[in-house]
Structure 1
Amino acid sequence: MTTCSNCSHAAMYKSLLRLSVVLLILVPPAMHCSTAMGSEWIETALNDAYGGLAVNTHYRFFQSVKKQHPNSQILSLQDISFNLYGYLESQNITIDSVGSATQHTVLERRPQGRRHPFHGPMMVDEDGEQLSVPLSTTLKNGVIQAEYSSTHFTVYDFNWIDSHERMRAMFLVFEGADDNAGKALVQDVYRWMETLKDEIWVFDEGHWQKDKDMYRDVQSADWRNIVLDSKMLQDLQRDTSVFFSSEEVYKSLNVVWKRGVLLLGPPGNGKTEAIKAIIKGSSVPCLYVKTFQSFGDHERGIRTIFRKARRVAPAILILEDLDSLVRPETRSFFLNELDGLESNQGILTIGTTNHPENIDPAILNRPSRFDTKYVFNLPDLNLRTQYIQTWLLKLESGGVRLVDDQYPTVGEFNKEISKQTEGWSFAYLKELFVSFQLTCAALRAAGSESAESVNAVPEILRHVENLSKQVVIGSEPEIEQGKSHLPSFGRRHARVARLMEDSEF
């Protein structure tokens, strides 16, 4: 038995199996393995492993596989994130599932050592009828065969849950004088797993995955389209770009090369758009965290997140809606990962929150955690005028007439809209013009009017009046600060900030 322990990113399997264990596993009725033994041996292995006789479940499975392939090389992995199937598919390699049908079984370990069948999750269609959802749509379990680099592989993949923790035993079976062919495959898979190609790392459902959709979404971001105070915009761009070229500055000051930036303020005022622009312009990997949840264990999720960030650093770690991510029971654990014994060298952590009042002061105010804070408040009259102007220019270029007897110039019309939208967020201002354009599109589709014939001025003002009923002015209080860009906390980081401002960066 050769164990690829150096490649595994998951914790090694516990030596003792607790009494409460549930196994979700795909058991094909006919295994065309090299010994032509059928599937009986797998049923025997499952009974042995979960019938109260096993101490080390992973080793029991290995013994069973080895018994069926006594003269073959067997490479064993225990990594729940090992994406063999995704890699083979990316290489256009055919994956053959062994067996023409599937049977799903849940194994429940109890003192009596009995197994109980389970028929999988049920869903309801639009008529209220129950629909059975095969577990094979969400689980990659069972036996597959594939040809890779002139070597035939049979792969046994077992997944189960041990005390709310997902466990996995995967065995790569192949012929050869040594295990080099298996090791080459494993190394190629891990190399592919760590390489981004038009993708962003996203942590969701307990593990890291590469997300192409998010990558495509951020490509539309542009700093020029983000309306903020010019000084604040300049400082934000500097703090999120210069950091990665300033390692030597931090070393010269004997300061750990890490930084935390917090974007805070009411929703709809540009925080997410700023995050997108930061990701798009970054020259280092970006790791986006949707949740700390990891198979019922938030601490495990936090540990996995920071372990990945340290491994790929320099990198940007994005924690959006920080106030909802950190629970009171995991606060200390999160703080230890953020600012504990681990150095976090080369990690720029960017957090966002709509409700800073819900964040523990130990996270919000402690130096070296989130050193710099940017407040995205509701836009004032000047910023609203700038933002509205961009939309009016788009409409005007599209042939929409934006003047009438009351507002003889576009500028006068802009002033009126800006005056009537006090207390609006950028999101509501955007909705104003999107809803107007949808009205125009509906009229064109009905064949009643063209964009040029729509009386735009009163129509837009009508949309302003309608949306004003939805906007509760003051419902999202502004954050009381003298400046929108709060100064860095801590003397050492203040020195870094001054040095960076005076340098050529």
Structure 2
Amino acid sequence: MLMWGPPGSGKTSAIWQMSEILIKERQGAVIFIQDPQVAIWCLTALRRVENNRPIVTVAEDLDALVQMHGEHHFLALYDGEFQLDNVVHLATTNYPDRLDRRFVDRPSRFDTIMRIGMPTLDARLAYFSVKEPTLDKDTLNRWSIRTEGYSVAHLREVCIAIQCFNQDEDEVFERLDKMKRLIQLNSDGDERESAGFLNHKG
């Protein structure tokens, strides 16, 4: 599975939740990949002593890892050239357009490609309800509406700044909105191109 989406959309959080379930409920193992060749050696050695244990490999920011280590060993890891039973490969990227089509257009490497967007209104409501259970209904609804397009990290900052440091609500949202606008601009002051497969230049 390849999960892609903007920074802060919750890809890493999803991986940690899946990892916790795999380890606690299935007695599985999770291997975080940096160097694909080392990962291949480790997986081979692990399979010799753990024939049937469920394994998940995780490659976060796959585009950066491929740029660092090259494509060959990653392609071997994800394709039939190197194959082990009962292993699921997870990878994330903020910039799928930077991955060669040999990664994204070949089901034998990633048979599931999932876009992870920013938290929806229902997700933001649920987040604030859990993190700040003392909020009244009006405040909960107001925060959830004002945080349209916010990442999970931004939602956390809202809670910390207002509830923990008692900062003014309007000032907090103004600061975070300004931060989001600046991040969306490039060095020329133009809006950044959105990351996505439609922008693929390969």
For 1:420, give the aligned amino acid: R
- Relative to structure 1, the CA distance from residue 473 to residue 419 in structure 2 (aligned partners, 3 Å threshold; closer, same or farther) is farther
SS where residue 379 of structure 1 aligns? coil
Q: Does the 8 Å contact 2:10/2:118 carry over to 1?
A: no
Partner of residue 11, structure 2:
271
Say yes or no: does 1:306 pair with 2:40.
Answer: yes
User: What are the within-5 Å matches in structure 2 for residues 407-418 of structure 1?
Assistant: 410-418=136-144
Offset of 1:328 from its aligned partner?
A: 8.2
Q: Which structure exhibits the higher relative contact order, with contacts defined as CA atoms closer than 8 Å and separated by 6 or more residues?
A: 2
Pick from 157, 160, 172: which aligns with 1:434?
Answer: 160
Partner of residue 63, structure 2:
323
More strand by share: 1
1:259-297 superposed Cα distances (whole Å, 9 cap, x missing partner): xx11111111211111111222222121112x32xxxxx
Aligned equivalents of 1:411 and 1:369: distance in 2?
Answer: 46
Aligned equivalents of 1:284 and 1:380: distance in 2?
Answer: 31
Contiguous gaps of at least 5 residues in structure 1: 1-260, 293-301, 397-401, 403-409, 441-457, 482-505
Aligned equivalents of 2:108 and 2:197: distance in 1?
Answer: 22
- Relative to structure 1, the CA distance from residue 329 to residue 304 in structure 2 (aligned partners, 3 Å threshold; closer, same or farther) is closer
Offset of 1:466 from its aligned partner?
A: 2.0
Offset of 1:355 from its aligned partner?
A: 1.0
What fraction of aligned residue pairs are identical, expressed as a percent? 28
Partner of residue 348, structure 1:
88
Offset of 1:318 from its aligned partner?
A: 0.9
Pick from 21, 29, 32: which aligns with 1:288?
Answer: 32
- Relative to structure 1, the CA distance from residue 474 to residue 366 in structure 2 (aligned partners, 3 Å threshold; closer, same or farther) is farther
Q: Does the 8 Å contact 2:78/2:108 carry over to 1?
A: no
Partner of residue 188, structure 2:
none
Partner of residue 129, structure 2:
389
1:383-432 superposed Cα distances (whole Å, 9 cap, x missing partner): 22232232331xx1xxxxx5xxxxxxx22222222222222112101111
- Relative to structure 1, the CA distance from residue 430 to residue 391 in structure 2 (aligned partners, 3 Å threshold; closer, same or farther) is same
Say yes or no: does 1:460 pair with 2:179.
Answer: no
TM-score for both structures, normalised by structure 1:
0.33
1:119-176 superposed Cα distances (whole Å, 9 cap, x missing partner): xxxxxxxxxxxxxxxxxxxxxxxxxxxxxxxxxxxxxxxxxxxxxxxxxxxxxxxxxx
Q: Does the 8 Å contact 1:436/1:460 carry over to 2?
A: yes
Offset of 1:359 from its aligned partner?
A: 1.0
For 1:421, give the aligned amino acid: T
SS where residue 88 of structure 2 aligns? strand
User: What are the within-5 Å matches in structure 2 for residues 60-209 of structure 1?
Assistant: none
Say yes or no: does 1:419 pair with 2:145.
Answer: yes
CA RMSD in angstroms comes to 2.6
Q: Does the 8 Å contact 1:423/1:474 carry over to 2?
A: no
For 1:305, give the aligned amino acid: A
- Relative to structure 1, the CA distance from residue 344 to residue 473 in structure 2 (aligned partners, 3 Å threshold; closer, same or farther) is farther
Q: Does the 8 Å contact 1:266/1:378 carry over to 2?
A: yes
How many residue pairs get aligned? The number is: 180
Contiguous gaps of at least 5 residues in structure 2: 48-53, 185-191
SS where residue 6 of structure 2 aligns? coil
TM-score for both structures, normalised by structure 2:
0.77
Aligned equivalents of 1:473 and 1:421: distance in 2?
Answer: 16
Q: Does the 8 Å contact 2:60/2:92 carry over to 1?
A: yes
SS where residue 350 of structure 1 aligns? strand
Offset of 1:478 from its aligned partner?
A: 7.0
Offset of 1:347 from its aligned partner?
A: 1.4
Aligned equivalents of 1:461 and 1:361: distance in 2?
Answer: 45
